[in-house]
Amino acid sequence: MKSEIPDEKVKPFRLVKYFTFTSLIVIFMGTLLLSFLNTHWARAMQIEKSEEYALVLIENLNHQVFLQFIIPVALKFGKIQLRNKEQFERMDMIVRSTLHSFKVEMVHIYDMNNIISYSFDTEMVGRRNLGGEGYRKAVAGKSNSVLAYPEENPGFLGKAAFYLGFPRKSKIVTYSPLRAEKPLSRISGPVLGVVEIVQDLSEDYNAIFRFQIRVILTCAAVMGLLFVILRLTVNKGERIIEKRNLERIRLKEQLSRAERLSALGEMVAGISHEIRNPLGIIRSSAELLKKKMQKFDPSNTIPDIIVEEASRLNNIITDFLNFAKPRNPNPLPCRIEEILEKSIAFLSSQLKKHSCVIEKNFGNTATEMMADSAMIYQAFLNILLNAAQAMPGGGIIRIETLSDAKSVTVVFKDEGAGIPDEVMGKIWDPFFTTKETGTGLGLGIVKNIIESHGGKIRIENRKEKGAAVFVELPAGDRGISA
């Protein structure tokens, strides 16, 4: 019962715990997904801004090239030939001065035959058919941009790594038509060629990547902190639930035990009353018979046996009544050491018979308390008798007293064989005993007496050998039920 009931009660809380942990994981995964989406949107915006930036540069470059190069060179030389060193240098000066201080890595200018007529890299001049689809769209009058990846990250793997958020080299290539301009008009003329501008976006994307990493790390730290807080809360909740379940189980056991003892008490009280009256008659008759037989047969011991056994049976009935219907204590000022000394003195002959020696450690000051000294005396007698009976070959019984402002504790230690584990859970059950004689009510009576004073009693096996009985009583008059 002790293992099933707590598990049954904890199950709903475990469902809440698992649901909470699952929700935490889902929130974390959702945060990561949102982080990747935000990064993707930031990159898309960066590409759009970079493309707009490139188109503005190309428009300005187109204007400067047409006004400062095409018209003057056509008037001076009659035709444009960039193979001419003077024309190339003039073009190079115009392009570089126009794009100076702007983030442009490379510029190519194609003619209408897809031949590079001008480039920042002079080795590229004269190369054919390198424009690709972007060039063909620009010739058709449509500006366009494409993302390019360096040779160290080629193909799908390089692009996949880029889109997954890893810092990679990346560039944007923008193609736009190079047009003739009509003077005093916003209408552009025919396409004369294509301008290709290459921008390196690696620095911007690395900044976005670093921001993404910071977001992920921050989310991980926050989720980790929430997990720790949740874990501590769950552990505390489990401990509270387990504690409450154990308390409920103990209360249920105490209630069940009280109900059994109540029924048992009523039965024992009735039987004891019916037995005690005829038993008294038997004892008095045996004593009378003994007096008369002394005149005729003094050696006859049968009346003595009847009196002795009737007395023993009367003691057993008294134990039954004390256990089934314990009397309420009458608390008066007393000293625990005096009660112990009285108990030891009363049992001195029996202790000597069992070869038991008492060792006392009562401290320096006497411990005063409110208690029914007669009932506490009876409890200590039973405890000392059990300790002596646990050492058939004799030994030392140590008695210690400890006290503070709230309680008084008396510890009884013997050097016997201790209590087997399979018996430990039954020692408080009525009528349970490991001895050949006895009713099995001694410890039950002791427990009733201690608890009626608002105290506690427990028995533990010692590490060395033997058992130890701990009796804790409240100091003053607290806990006593009058």
pLDDT of residue 373: 87
Per-residue confidence (pLDDT) for residue 269, from 0 to 100: 66
The predicted pLDDT at position 9 comes to 47
Residue 255 within any structural domain of the chain: no
* Domain termination site, one of 195, 216, 237: 216
What are the tens digits of pLDDT across the range 320-365? 666 666 667 888 888 888 888 998 898 888 888 888 898 988 876 6
Residues 207 and 339 in one domain: no
In total, the chain counts a number of residues equal to 482
Enumerate residues 6+ apart whose C-beta is below 8 A from 283: 306, 307, 310, 311, 314
User: CA-to-CA distance for 130 and 109, rounded, in angstroms?
Assistant: 11
Amino acid at the residue 104: V
Chain mean pLDDT for the chain: 78
Out of 10-24, 269-283, 382-396, which region has the weakest mean confidence (pLDDT)?
10-24
| Residue ending a domain, choose from 199, 216, 233 | 216
Residue 292 lies in a domain: no
Spatial distance between the Cα atoms of 172 and 151, rounded to a whole number of angstroms: 14
Q: Which of 459, 467, 475 is nearest to 336 (CA)?
A: 475
Instruction: Indicate whether 212 and 335 sit together in one domain.
Output: no
Query: How do residues 35-87 score in pLDDT, each as one tens digit?
Result: 777 777 877 887 888 888 888 888 888 888 888 888 888 888 878 778 888 88
Residues 152 and 20 in one domain: yes
Specify whether 65 is located in the same domain as 203: yes
Asked, for residue 301, whether it belongs to a domain, the answer is: no
Alpha carbon distance 21, 5 (integer Å): 25
The model carries a pTM of: 0.44
Which domain does 81 fall in, by range? Answer: 4-216
Asked whether the predicted pLDDT for residue 455 surpasses 70, the reply is yes
Last residue of a domain, one of 216, 232, 255: 216
pLDDT at residue 321, rounded to an integer: 63
Q: CATH number of the domain that 87 lies in?
A: 3.30.450.20
DSSP code, position 347? T
pLDDT value for 273: 64
198 & 59 share domain: yes
Residue 22: its pLDDT value, please? 78
CATH of the domain at 379: 3.30.565.10
% of the chain exceeding 70 in pLDDT? 79
Q: What is the mean pLDDT of residues 372-377?
A: 88
Between 156 and 21, the more confident residue is: 21
What's the rounded Cα separation, in Å, for the pair 319 and 322?
A: 5
Whether 439 has a pLDDT exceeding 60, the answer reads no
- How much is the pLDDT for 157? 45
Contact in structure between 265 and 324 (CB atoms under 8 Å): yes
Residue 323 lies in a domain: no
Distance, CA of 209 to CA of 216 (rounded, Å): 10
- Are residues 149 and 19 part of one domain? yes
Q: How far apart are CA 264 and CA 426, in angstroms?
A: 17
List C-alpha distances in Å: 109 to 65, 67, 99: 11, 16, 14
- Going by pLDDT thresholds of 50, 70 and 90, the confidence category of residue 412 is very high
Q: Residue range 297-326: average pLDDT?
A: 71
> Looking at the structure, do residues 340 and 197 belong to the same domain, yes or no?
no
Structural domain tally of the chain?
Answer: 2
Residue 413: how many CB atoms within 10 A of its CB? 21
Is 309 a domain residue? no
Does 342 reside within a domain?
A: yes
pLDDT, residue 264, reads 66
Can you spell out the DSSP letters for 396-426? EEEEEEEE-SSEEEEEEE--S----HHHHTT
CA-closest candidate to residue 217, choices 28, 61, 366: 28
| Band (202; pLDDT cuts 50, 70, 90) | confident
In a domain, 285, yes or no: no
pLDDT for res 478: 42
More confident residue, 225 or 8: 225
Q: What is the mean pLDDT of residues 244-266?
A: 77
**Per-residue pLDDT tens for 391-408?**
888 888 999 888 887 888
Residues 210 and 335 grouped into a single domain: no
Question: Which is higher by pLDDT, 129 or 15?
Answer: 129
> Residue 77's pLDDT is what?
80
Q: Above 50 in pLDDT, residue 2?
A: no
For residue 279, is it within any domain? no
